[in-house]
Amino acid sequence: MIAFEYVSDDAALADLVAHYQQSDILVLDTEFVRTRTYYANLGLIQAYDGKRLALIDPVSITDLSGFWQLLSNPNIVKLVHSCSEDLEVFAHYGQCQPTPLFDSQLAASVAGLGHGLGYAKLVEMCLDVSLDKGESRTDWLKRPLSDAQLQYAANDVYYLYQLYPILKQKLIEQQRLSWAEEESQRMTEGRLAEIDFDNAYLKVKNGFQLNQQQLAYLKVLSTWRLQKATHRNLALGFVVKDHGLIGLAKKQPKNMMELGKLADLTELEKRINGRDMLAVMQKADLDNLPELIDVLALQPGYKAGFKEIKARLLEICEAEQVPSELMAAKRHIHDYMNWHWNNKQGDSPLLLNGWRGKLAAPALLSLTF
């Protein structure tokens, strides 16, 4: 049994934060529920500095501001595992990001232990400990939490503290510690930016199929959907699905009778949001039409160029013993090609920066495609 303290009031949290402020390393994890909501509903925060392992109850505590401030302390390394969703939680509830950051999943990948390793697998590989993941799907908002739930939560930070020196030593021996730190810190970038309501339409699946007039309708509909989702804390798909927005933009119904005939919308979507969507579509700015969505993969020469870049990167990965998932991911190649075909204007792509740039830039810049 792992010893922990359950922190459920403001005074206990203040004492804990004062203690953690003197720490060099702080392991972090969160437990939350996210089924129909836009934002995760935070149920528990786990923290451990090697001395005090705390399970912090955000349902009971009224003021978490001291804890959020702790996460920005530059003198404390924040240790996490596969933290993308945790970072969303910190951004939404604390308007903060944990810096400096060290993600053990990324570190394991950089060190050559395997890409995308789960926490339990990594613990088993490095510490020869088998963890019970039986509570991974549980209601973290329900109170009281069971002993099994609490032990499960404590495990997630207790063993991660032990993993850190092992991973760090491997990276130092390979002269790649800075790589792992670079990858970890990049995960926090842009997470505190305000929600971009105006450009929500660019994230709608298959938006590239629409002409400019149709995009004008998609733009106002997507902005309305995102505003409603954030205001009511509903997942986007539980307001209206992407398929429904595309159908509305293409067919542009003028009244409830026409809207009722749309097969792209569910009956529930029509009944709850039909009139609102018709009203929103009246606001489409048809005098200032959006630009067509340019799909890079449809351009002539894309497939050949992609294949050539991918092959060159895989050669580098093999020679340098770098996981191909880190170096040759599709999105990285796509960004490089977009930059190259845009006359090398705008921000330099990731493949030309940091440790990737040191390995790949000479080879990539010599390519013509």
> CB neighbours of 51 closer than 8 A, spacing ≥ 6?
19, 23
93 noted as active-site residue: no
Question: SS3 helix, strand, coil % of the chain, rounded to 5?
Answer: 55, 10, 40
CA distance 290 to 249: 13
Residue 234 structure tokens: 């509903």
156 noted as active-site residue: yes
CA distance 68 to 90: 8
Distances (CA, A) of 222 to 51, 238, 276: 48, 13, 13
CA distance 156 to 29: 7
Asked if residue 292 lies in contact with residue 215, where contact means CB atoms within 8 angstroms, the answer is: yes
Among residues 49, 103, 156, 335, the one annotated as catalytic is 156
CA distance 279 to 336: 41
Upstream peptide bond of 100 is cis (omega within 30 degrees of 0):
yes
86 noted as active-site residue: yes
Backbone dihedral angles phi then psi of residue 349, each to the nearest 5 degrees: -70, 160
Among residues 20, 38, 48, 152, the one annotated as catalytic is 152
Asked if residue 256 lies in contact with residue 275, where contact means CB atoms within 8 angstroms, the answer is: yes
CA distance 324 to 333: 12
Consecutive H or E run containing 5: strand 5-7
CA distance 155 to 80: 13
Asked if residue 108 lies in contact with residue 122, where contact means CB atoms within 8 angstroms, the answer is: yes
Among residues 20, 29, 269, 336, the one annotated as catalytic is 29
29 noted as active-site residue: yes
Among residues 20, 31, 181, 183, the one annotated as catalytic is 31
Among residues 49, 57, 86, 181, the one annotated as catalytic is 86
CA distance 25 to 319: 34
31 noted as active-site residue: yes
Give the active site residues: 29, 31, 86, 152, 156
